[in-house]
Structure 1
Amino acid sequence: MSPSNLCKQWKEFTWNNVKWKFWNDDGMREQPMGNEDIDPHYAQMLKYPDAPNSWYYATFMVSFVVAPVVIYKNDSTLPWWGFVIAVVLATISILFLGALSAVTNVTLSIRESPVSINMITGYLHPGKPMANMYFVLYSYSTFPRIDFETLFNPPCSRYDTKLPRPAFTAQLIGTLLGAILNYFLIISIIDNHRDTLLSVQGTNIWSGQQPQAYNSQAIAWGGLSHELFSVGMRYQWVPLSYLVGLVAPVPFWLVHRYWPKLRADYLFVPIIWWSAGSAGALTPWSCLTFMIAFASQWWIRTRYPSWFQKYNYPVGAALDGGTQVMVFSLSFAVEGATGTSHLFPAWWGANQGGNYDRCLYLG
């Protein structure tokens, strides 16, 4: 996605294109004729009316008003101007993360929040770990909450940046319900498994590894940023590594420019480095996910392209949705989210005496 295309897409989200009387607009886009290259999923989406820009602006304004109330009500220590900066950074991040998601189908989440956000807020609000947490939430994790599947679709018309009205409504309702359910679920889990979540090992079911890592980031950058990461300090190369990251793609760009047959443009440096950094935390389940992705995106796609175009995305959505439903159900019915667990009988695939993935404990 070139900068010119990014700017073109971004200009569609301007006040000049707002149709406040959306009830007078059927929202239907012009059906492309004779375009064989158009994505079949996008072609189906064209049958539904678009959500007008006013829906997006209304959602943003309501969120922009509610967020400061939450910040001050919870004594987050994040000032109002810090929240405004966080929203501006989120707006800028959408351009680059949206392009990353569109080109590579990789959407980063809060667990892989870029250290750059922690670093910025660490120097803006030194000595305030809580402010660091809230800043990261409002500046970065807002991106995965919106489905930008059609945001950077090249063959589409001028309204590519919009979702169909049913999809917009479903995502909004799902976000609200998900927030409520997740809140009560996490409170129940913390109340019933607090000691386990605070332990280093955890159990074969419950672990506080991810929230503790998030908490550690907030303390390191929010409370000790100057002492640890400033020039001359122990971890000075963490922020300085951003200079290395800026230069890293240049050799591949030069190789592709002068020797295009080598297809160095297929080597996407940010994803390669991000995957290499995550390799140390791989589990058997991660390997199974990789095998499924490899079978779908290469073996089926190259040998059965018609089946891939027709069924790959529905099957992928079904796997994701089914997994989420199973996790929610198992948490309450089996794994004791409300306090009492009813575990499966012990066998090799249900290792009740240790980690389900049979990972080694820390020594």
Structure 2
Amino acid sequence: MRLRIRPLGYFLRFPTFLKREEKRERSGVVVVNGGDSEVKEHVDVPSLGKTQVSKEVEDSNHPNSNNSEPEEKSIATSSNLKDDPILRTVTVRSCIAGIVMAIVGGSVAQLFIYKPVFLHVPALFVQLLCYLIGSGLSKIPGPEWWNPGPFSSKETGFSAIMAVSASIDSIAIYMLCAQDLYFNKPASAILALSTIFSSQMIGYGWAGSMLPSVALIKSLANKDKVANDQLKFFKKSFWAISIYEFFPSYLTPALQAISPWCLTFPKSQSVTQIFGGSQNLEGLGLFSMSFDFAIVGAGSLYTPLDTQITQWIAALISIFLFMAGYRFNWFGSGLGNNFPLFSADLITSSGKKYNLTSAVFPNGTENLASVEGLGIPMMPTATILGKSFNCAASSAAVMATILYHWKDIKSVVMRSKSGGAREDPHRTIVKKYRQFPTYVMLLIILAAGVMAILASHFGHSGLSVFGMLGSLALSGLISISAGFLFASTGVVLSIMRKGLTSGGNSVSHFWFTTFASTSTYQCLNILKGQYLLLSPMSVMTGQLAGSVIGLFANYLVMEIIMRNQRDVLLMPNGNGVLTGIHILSYQSQAISWGVFARRLYLPGKIYSVVIYGTIAGLFAPIPIYLLERWKPSVGFKKFNVSVFFNALPDLGGGVTSGKMNAIALGIWAQFYMRRYRRKCDVLAAALLGGTEITIMILLIFFQGGAPWKLKIPFYFLNPDGPRDYCEVRP
């Protein structure tokens, strides 16, 4: 293979470069085998017979398919394959739209790490805004390199890939913030940027895959009546929620949580534990209401009804489990030892906050003398039950993948390089386009691995070179199954692996988990361009560019928040606007697994139920699978075991005042909006996106993100304390 080195000036000749790519695209001819038919480029495919697309339609209805996101269903249900090789992908306007939304998406994703309610940037919101920006630019007259025609689906897809890649929150941020906040070890700019960048780049070397959304992009580009209606609906919903969110987030924060019980009953911890939910880890939020969409969330608008019913059942059961465990002092971590119901802190055996800075040296190793006096750390019953359920959910997902998708796994492993009838027809089409070289993938892995090792060394992580290599290898193994198991399995398995096999260092555990887990998230959208029929070179270029932009956006927001709001992040529950609870939770997990894992979680130890939960999760799907095979007409397949386990800890953390609203919203969406389900996804994207943009504007210009702050005086809709007027534990 001969490598041609081009001068920089060649790539700066933007119009010529694009025309060269256009000629390359025109020269290809595609044949898609679909049952007994052959389809060439530029031809619609109304039916593909028993191909991968139809297979995905069947699997999307399966109880163990991951169909909780609207993006994942739209591709599988799209039966129309149409490619126009003449359409350009990388244009000036698609780059501008992608860069603008990458900056916005990366900033918003980073911002919500410090918010009481953690939200992801919705991909549909990013796609719609990319389309709106690109369409606006297309109306500006100019030469062909600026305005080659209407803003196409491929341009929208490229800009959206860039923006979504920047909008992935980096786990490395948690590690950097935790070391700065709790051990006073701030990382230099070069070290921080190198750590974030290398952890993200590793993921692009692994071939993970996941079905994302493309149907909306194509419908927008077609500009039919349905697409125009969706776009108008999106604009109205977006502006309405953007204006409304100023009230619960700034002017009337009491609307975030309304608890009639805390307002009428005498103040007590028991009432707060059952009915409170305005703050993180305050209570179960039973029968509370919230009129803040950031707290209610958009999941109920698109999550299938069967999945929501499973989650409701799990929530009901978890209420009894949490309260029973707390009341009867399970694991010695309940009411009998004066423990809180929920807490992100590690706790002493007497129920007081564990002194982490005394028990663990700044280098992450154990202070034996201090631990001898303090004892080993403990956690509330609800926290331990939540860990057990999460482990059970991950192992149940692994077993369900084997039981229900064994044929798919086998076909992928046994399939020849030429593909065949089972090859994804989208992949068949994009083979004609310029491929991203395999050797470049290997160079990315090598360069990112070297950068990770250097960052680990100069960051005094305590993680050996072989430990870092093991972390990178584990990230590759996890990425292979990411399409089936999503990211939750990767995080849990990597934490357990390091904690149970290392010598006990929380800092090295930080680094191991960061590089074993972050890369899984980065590779989940690697096939987005394939389903939009973009060239692999364009897809990888967009992802790499978006990640670099997101890197600087993440770091800038982190520096601003850490510099201006450090004291707030160290407060137990923050100030209602910002909180360090997510960073504290990550820190506590790193110490419990990295330093004390062998004394807490191994068989025979106080919290061995966590390990047993993993084993139980492996066997849990088997009875449901056998019952379904025995009586398929009964509907056993509607019960998703991994979803059930994953939903059990939902009320055990976070702000819970919006749970009842979410249930009501789900019922309304399923039984009323269902006839307009094509708009449900658009509504979810508009509501969540508008909410996030308003919250970002408020934080920067009004709530202290910048050096200044405009405070609203305290009054009955802006209380000086919990928003729901519940009593909180000091």
TM over 0.5: yes
Tell whether the 8 Å contact from 1:86 to 1:138 is kept in structure 2 after alignment: yes
- Matching residue of 1:353: 720
CA–CA distance in structure 2, aligned partners of residues 291 and 50 of structure 1: 49
Instruction: Give the counterpart letter for 1:269 in structure 2.
Output: V
CA–CA distance in structure 2, aligned partners of residues 60 and 69 of structure 1: 14
Shift of 1:352: 4.9
Superposition map of 1:271-286 within 5 A: 271-281=643-653, 282-285=655-658
* 1:79 aligned onto 2:79: no
- After superposition, the C-alpha distances for 1:127-154 in whole angstroms (9 at most, x for unaligned) are 2101111111111122223343858xxx
Match for residue 436 of structure 2 among 52, 55, 75: 52
- After superposition, the C-alpha distances for 1:150-173 in whole angstroms (9 at most, x for unaligned) are 58xxxxxxx679975555444333
- Matching residue of 1:198: 570
CA–CA distance in structure 2, aligned partners of residues 95 and 162 of structure 1: 22
- Matching residue of 1:332: 700
Match for residue 143 of structure 1 among 511, 520, 527: 520
Instruction: Give the counterpart letter for 2:494 in structure 1.
Output: I
Structure 2 unaligned runs (5+)? 5-19, 33-40, 49-53, 55-75, 79-212, 219-425
Tell whether the 8 Å contact from 1:50 to 1:164 is kept in structure 2 after alignment: yes
Tell whether the 8 Å contact from 1:150 to 1:162 is kept in structure 2 after alignment: no
Match for residue 33 of structure 1 among 17, 28, 45: 45
Instruction: Give the counterpart letter for 2:463 in structure 1.
Output: L
Higher RCO structure, 1 or 2 (CA under 8 Å, sep 6+): 2
- Matching residue of 1:100: 485
Tell whether the 8 Å contact from 2:482 to 2:524 is kept in structure 1 after alignment: no
Tell whether the 8 Å contact from 1:249 to 1:269 is kept in structure 2 after alignment: yes
Shift of 1:263: 2.1
Tell whether the 8 Å contact from 2:490 to 2:516 is kept in structure 1 after alignment: no
Shift of 1:59: 4.0
Instruction: Give the counterpart letter for 1:250 in structure 2.
Output: I
Flag the 1:198–1:94 CA change in 2: closer, same or farther, 3 A: same
TM-score, scaled to structure 2: 0.39
- Matching residue of 2:500: 123
Flag the 1:68–1:288 CA change in 2: closer, same or farther, 3 A: farther
Shift of 1:323: 4.4
* 1:239 aligned onto 2:607: no
- After superposition, the C-alpha distances for 1:329-349 in whole angstroms (9 at most, x for unaligned) are 33211221234322456676x
Tell whether the 8 Å contact from 1:201 to 1:361 is kept in structure 2 after alignment: no
CA–CA distance in structure 1, aligned partners of residues 443 and 726 of structure 2: 47
Flag the 1:42–1:339 CA change in 2: closer, same or farther, 3 A: closer
Tell whether the 8 Å contact from 1:196 to 1:202 is kept in structure 2 after alignment: yes
Tell whether the 8 Å contact from 2:568 to 2:578 is kept in structure 1 after alignment: yes
Which segment is superposed worse, 334-343 or 18-27? 18-27
Flag the 1:59–1:39 CA change in 2: closer, same or farther, 3 A: farther
Shift of 1:351: 3.0
- Matching residue of 1:362: 729
CA–CA distance in structure 2, aligned partners of residues 319 and 88 of structure 1: 39
Flag the 1:323–1:224 CA change in 2: closer, same or farther, 3 A: same
Which segment is superposed worse, 338-347 or 244-253? 338-347
Shift of 1:315: 4.8
* 1:253 aligned onto 2:621: no
CA–CA distance in structure 2, aligned partners of residues 35 and 291 of structure 1: 38
Instruction: Give the counterpart letter for 2:484 in structure 1.
Output: A
Shift of 1:188: 2.4
Flag the 1:79–1:127 CA change in 2: closer, same or farther, 3 A: same
Flag the 1:359–1:194 CA change in 2: closer, same or farther, 3 A: farther
CA–CA distance in structure 2, aligned partners of residues 19 and 304 of structure 1: 54
* 1:90 aligned onto 2:467: no
Match for residue 68 of structure 1 among 453, 457, 472: 453
